[in-house]
Amino acid sequence: MIMSDDPVADAPPSVVLGVGGGIAAYKAAELLRRLRAHGLDVTVVPTRAALRFVGEPTWSALSGKPVSAEVWDDVHDVPHVRLGQQASLVVVAPATADLLARAAHGLADDLLGNVLLTASCPIVMAPAMHTEMWEHGATQANVATLRSRGIIVLDPAVGRLTGADSGPGRLPEPDVIAEVCFAVLSGSKADLVGKRFVVSAGGTREALDPVRYLGNRSSGKQGYAIAAAAIARGAQVTLVSANVNLPAPAGSTVVPVQSAQELLVEMVNRSTDCDVIVMAAAVADFRPSTVSEHKIKKHDDGASPTIELERTTDVLAELVTGRGDATRPVIVGFAAETGDQHGDVLEHGKAKLRRKGCDLLVVNDVSDGKVFGRDQNEVVILTAQGGLIEVPSSSKAQIADRVVDTIVSTLNLDR
C-alpha cells in the first residue's frame, strides 16, 4: 500500500448511515456491519422514530461512535453541518415515506434532515414502506424530485411486508444496498439505479431419458458478468440460470432452470415487470420429441436408436413479439456465429438482428470453439439503429461493461 504524508488522505472514507423509523431499521444494523467490514468509517444518524425500533446502544456499539438524532448534542462540534460536509457518502436505510417527503422538501428538524441538506457527496436512499405508501402519488412525486436532484433512490424490493401482506415496499437486502454504496464510492457509474434487469445465462438441457440430455457448452460466464456489471451500476437483477456452475453475483436473484421450455416460462413471466432483458443463454433449438420414461437400453442386435427432434420456441422472438410496439423492456440478444458460404460472422449477425427484432445483438465469433468457457472474449455489438461497436479481445467483465454501456445508451434513447 502506498501511504501519503497526509493523514486525512489516508483516512477511510466517511459514510453517514441515516436510519428512518420503520420496522426495517433492524436490517440497517446488518448494512452497518457490511460497511464497517469494508473498512469504512460510519457515523449512524437515526431519526427519533428509528430509535423507537432500534436503540442508540446498538448503533453506537456497531459503529464505534457516539450516536444522536438531535442537532442539540455536541453543539460545539457543529455536527449538523460537519457530518454532511465531511461525508464521502450518505446512505439512508430504511427511507420511510415520511423521510423521503422531508428530504424532498428540505425539512431539517432533526440531525439527519440537516445532514441531507449539507451533504455535497452522493446520497443513496433505500426506501421501505407499505405498498400503498410507496405507490401513493405523493411518495412517487417526492421520489421523482429526489432523483431529479441526482439522489440515488433505489426501488424497494418486492416481497413480504410487515404483516401478512406482500408487494413492492420491502427494504432491498443489506448486501444489495452495500454493493450500491461500494460502487458509488469507487466512482463507478450509478446509472442503472432503479432499473430492473432479467438476464438469462448458461445452456439449456433437453431430456432424452431420466439420465441423458442434449446440451451445449455454454458456461454462463458472460451472462453472469453482465448481471454483475448491471448490479454494480445500481440495477436489480434476476438471473434465469440454466445449468451454470458459478457463484451467483452478490445482490442477484437466481432462478434455476433446466430446459428451453422452463427458461421460456420464466423469461416470459418476468418480461412485463422489467426494463431490460438480456438473452445471454444458449437455448436449445431442438429437443427430443418424446422423453423416454425409462433409461434407453442398448439392443442386443446392435441397432442404435433414432432420436426424433422437434423445434423449441424461440424465446427471444417470443419476448420481442410480446413487447409489441412498446419500447420497454430493452431486449438484448446474443448471437454465436461462424462464417460460411452464405456470409461472414458480421453479415450473419446483422441478418439475425433484423430477423429477431431485438434492440441490441452481441455477436460472438465461435469458429474453432472460441469463447465457450474462456475468460477472454471478443464481440461486436450491433444496434437496431445501425450502430456497430467493436469490442476487441477483453475479459468477459470488460465486455459486460461495454454491453451495459450500450444498454444505458439505448434506455436513454428518445424513442
Residues marked active site are found at 216
Choice from 19, 91, 260, 404 touching ligand CTP (CB under 6 A): 260
Q: Which is nearer to ligand CTP, 283 or 408 (CB)?
A: 283
Set of cell numbers at residue 174:
443489506
> Does residue number 285 form part of the binding site for ligand CTP (CB under 6 A)?
yes
Q: Which is nearer to ligand CTP, 56 or 314 (CB)?
A: 314
187 by Cβ neighbours in 10 Å (0-12 / 13-18 / 19+) ranks as exposed
Pairing of strands 89-95, 14-19: parallel
> Does residue number 335 form part of the binding site for ligand CTP (CB under 6 A)?
yes
Set of cell numbers at residue 287:
429437443
Among residue numbers 300 through 319, which ones bind ligand CTP (CB under 6 A)? Answer: 312, 314-316
Mark the segment that binds ligand CTP (CB under 6 A) among 43-51, 162-170, 234-242, 333-341: 333-341
Mark the segment that binds ligand CTP (CB under 6 A) among 6-14, 52-60, 232-240, 281-289: 281-289
Residue 260 CB, nearest distance to ligand CTP (Å)? 6
Among residue numbers 223 through 252, which ones bind ligand CTP (CB under 6 A)? Answer: none
Residue 388 CB, nearest distance to ligand CTP (Å)? 17
> Does residue number 336 form part of the binding site for ligand CTP (CB under 6 A)?
yes
Among residue numbers 61 through 90, which ones bind ligand CTP (CB under 6 A)? Answer: none
Q: Which is nearer to ligand CTP, 170 or 348 (CB)?
A: 348
Distance, CA of 91 to CA of 98 (rounded, Å): 16
Distance, CA of 181 to CA of 15 (rounded, Å): 9
Which SS3 state, helix, strand or coil, does residue 3 take? coil
> Does residue number 198 form part of the binding site for ligand CTP (CB under 6 A)?
no
Please compute Rg for the chain using Cα positions. 25
- How many residues bind to ligand CTP according to rule CB under 6 A? 13
Q: Which is nearer to ligand CTP, 56 or 285 (CB)?
A: 285
Distance, CA of 275 to CA of 408 (rounded, Å): 11
Distance, CA of 376 to CA of 355 (rounded, Å): 28
Distance, CA of 165 to CA of 250 (rounded, Å): 27
Q: Which is nearer to ligand CTP, 121 or 291 (CB)?
A: 291
What type of residue is 279? M
Q: Which is nearer to ligand CTP, 313 or 409 (CB)?
A: 313
> Does residue number 191 form part of the binding site for ligand CTP (CB under 6 A)?
no
Residue 291 CB, nearest distance to ligand CTP (Å)? 18
Write the CB contacts of 87 (distance below 8 Å, at least 6 apart in sequence).
Answer: 14, 15, 16, 43, 115, 119, 121
Residue 270: alpha-carbon gap to chain centroid: 14
Torsions phi, psi for 211 (to 5 deg): -120, -15
**Residue 48 DSSP code:** H
Residue nearest to ligand CTP (CB): 315
- Tell me if 284 sits within 8 A of 263, measured CB to CB: no
- Site for ligand CTP, rule CB under 6 A: 260, 279, 281, 283, 285, 312, 314-316, 333-336
